[in-house]
Structure 1
């Protein structure tokens, strides 16, 4: 059986290893960290069929420029003279049209529904033991008429796609969240969504893969990729080298730099997010997005997570205190009886989400490197789409019909 090297041990890489292992492949995962931090651990844990509008949508670049000089803003693009960033920004602008958004809606819904089903299958299989997977939906909490009307349009489109959505007034919101004081005028409730605890699932998935014979190499960085006859013949790390039959590039925000070594153009930017865990009782039992604060709140196993921001400032793990403070302030704005304390603020974690110019993932085989498959660029839906991406990549490598049409995720697609 073919041996497959997966570069990247986030949710996409480990999900791919899970499904390839089930098909009998010899699988090795190489990660430059120790698979205990980053975007796959600090995200909001959402499984979101309701998120049918891609990040690249009309008005986003204008908002980014407006917020460019406010490093505490929810959507922050740090001004910098970087050719890749400038190209990506231009492609993002070109992708932010009504027509392209409309074209993306169906495929975003389909891959999210596929992933929701796969999360359920994984839980029912018992492979990982028990873990949190709850279908309580997602509340879009709003304070202003402007936010309500904006989300109402999205909700109408979500309902058109056949997904479950309800409009809640203040009293109905109180009924669904009786144990916490919420300062909001109401909510749009996307009942189609689910949530999990990433910090619970990732270690369980890692342990299962090791027990199942998948080789996991941590603290090992890929430094070069040698090609011959349009194939990757050798993967060289800072510790050793590998001779793969097939290679899966699932290195998140670092995928673009590795693609460059293969002379491939993979336009990607790392979008930094932050999360704060509150381990005391908050009374919050249903996940929510605080619309005016542009942040996510998730009741996880043993704590409540407050997460947010999309910061484009290059590949780094620098924590900006003003952005962390914005999350804490946003939480108390909607939950006035809750104040995130200094110790909780200091425990903040950060991670980089790989963002493509059109907000759609890259999933597919390379046209020029015959034994390379790529899975990255999921933006804020990386966690939600991890299992689906792993399943689709496995189907591609096995020569099976894919579970859905993936032409929109073509890694060679043009953005001009």
Structure 2
């Protein structure tokens, strides 16, 4: 039976949800406070990463954040500020960062990433969006030190045990794989299971397809309030109109927690800011890489190479810290000595906020408080990778069908 569905949020997760829900014949409206041309879904590294099996909330992360708190150029930065919501989230995050919880999360993260990789492929094969970059060249974890190698080797062993394709490369093998660019690294671990894409190409195409399929896209429209009656959301009030719906999907990224507060719900969530620089000149880089000691990502996209990175907790804003941008440029030079990022490219830096949950796992599932509310947010650094999988799971939840995988670990009600 067709349902009238409102999706709050027009990022990769919200649009993927609209894609699969519209395929099932539902009447779908997407509402976003922006014009859907910027933000995390546009400036991310474009990775589709089954290899990223370790959640952001892992042992020692909060300690690292506190240690780096007064160095605004550090890869993981928490701006000193008095913010009770941030304190509470930090406590939950700390409680989640145990070896036991990480061990439980690993197979779940792997499963949803593999599901999403296959769905990206299915979307391309369908022809709905026309042609778009989707390449499976894997991901290189480049390292300079023995410490970094041993850390990633442990992750690689876990990934291999789970059936993911991974191999080690020495300098000669690395040079053979990337012959057009000099790489200053001792070696790499190559996750052959990974893929990549160009977000700035994919996003306009999925918006265009959804419009052609009858999905209503409401841009530059902010959700101001949610009115409830009984145990249901009765009305969505925005800056332009009022809406009613059978089902409401909250997929508003880093702003999801603020919207949840309008219906007296506590959704532990913080915006983690990332930065990206595009270089439209030839770089010789053909395979995506993470520069381990620089803690940044490099992606050969369609028409340019993207250098991205950092995790900054400083509130939901788009303020650019120049020292963080310069850290990305110098980090790239450290591994690719022949690649220069010029002043104009640095000045064109973009930022985006990733929604980070209390444990680095997404919130996917129905609300226990409101019968017609479903959450699809909190994906941290894996939002792009997990977009299609989340959209598929959301459509299965709404239609009360068997979900493609066990989603208990993604419960919006989990706390520690």
Q: TM-score, normalised by structure 1?
A: 0.99
Give the match for residue 265 of structure 1: 266
How many Å apart are 1:81 and its aligned residue?
1.1
- Give the Cα–Cα distance (whole angstroms) in 2 for the partners of residues 195 and 227 of structure 1: 41
- Give the Cα–Cα distance (whole angstroms) in 1 for the partners of residues 369 and 229 of structure 2: 11
- Give matches, 1:386-397, under 5 Å: 386-397=387-398
CA offsets 1:315-373 (integer angstroms, 9 cap, x no match): 10000000000000000010001110000001100000000011000000001100000
- Give the Cα–Cα distance (whole angstroms) in 2 for the partners of residues 222 and 59 of structure 1: 37
- Give the Cα–Cα distance (whole angstroms) in 2 for the partners of residues 278 and 357 of structure 1: 34
Say if 2:220 is the partner of 1:219: yes
How many Å apart are 1:265 and its aligned residue?
1.1
- Give the Cα–Cα distance (whole angstroms) in 1 for the partners of residues 30 and 244 of structure 2: 13
The alignment partner of 1:52 has SS state of: coil
How many Å apart are 1:62 and its aligned residue?
1.1
How many Å apart are 1:271 and its aligned residue?
0.1
Say if 2:83 is the partner of 1:70: no
How many Å apart are 1:302 and its aligned residue?
0.1
Give the match for residue 159 of structure 1: 160
The alignment partner of 2:225 has SS state of: strand
How many Å apart are 1:2 and its aligned residue?
1.2
Give the match for residue 133 of structure 1: 134
Give the match for residue 285 of structure 1: 286
Say if 2:6 is the partner of 1:5: yes
Give the match for residue 45 of structure 2: 44
- Give the Cα–Cα distance (whole angstroms) in 1 for the partners of residues 298 and 378 of structure 2: 23
- Structure 1 stretches of 4+ moved >2 Å: none
The alignment partner of 1:331 has SS state of: helix
- Give the Cα–Cα distance (whole angstroms) in 2 for the partners of residues 226 and 61 of structure 1: 37
- Give the Cα–Cα distance (whole angstroms) in 2 for the partners of residues 150 and 403 of structure 1: 32
How many Å apart are 1:256 and its aligned residue?
0.1
- Give the Cα–Cα distance (whole angstroms) in 2 for the partners of residues 362 and 84 of structure 1: 18
Give the match for residue 378 of structure 1: 379
Give the match for residue 399 of structure 2: 398
Give the match for residue 100 of structure 1: 101
Q: How many pairs were matched up?
A: 415
Give the match for residue 36 of structure 2: 35
Give the match for residue 318 of structure 1: 319
Give the match for residue 22 of structure 1: 23
The alignment partner of 1:19 has SS state of: helix
- Give matches, 1:145-184, under 5 Å: 145-184=146-185
- Give matches, 1:110-129, under 5 Å: 110-129=111-130
Unaligned runs of 5+ in 2: none
- Give matches, 1:237-276, under 5 Å: 237-276=238-277
- Give the Cα–Cα distance (whole angstroms) in 1 for the partners of residues 318 and 127 of structure 2: 35
CA offsets 1:219-269 (integer angstroms, 9 cap, x no match): 000000000011011000011100111100000000000001111110000
- Give the Cα–Cα distance (whole angstroms) in 2 for the partners of residues 404 and 14 of structure 1: 20
How many Å apart are 1:86 and its aligned residue?
0.1
- Give the Cα–Cα distance (whole angstroms) in 2 for the partners of residues 376 and 214 of structure 1: 20
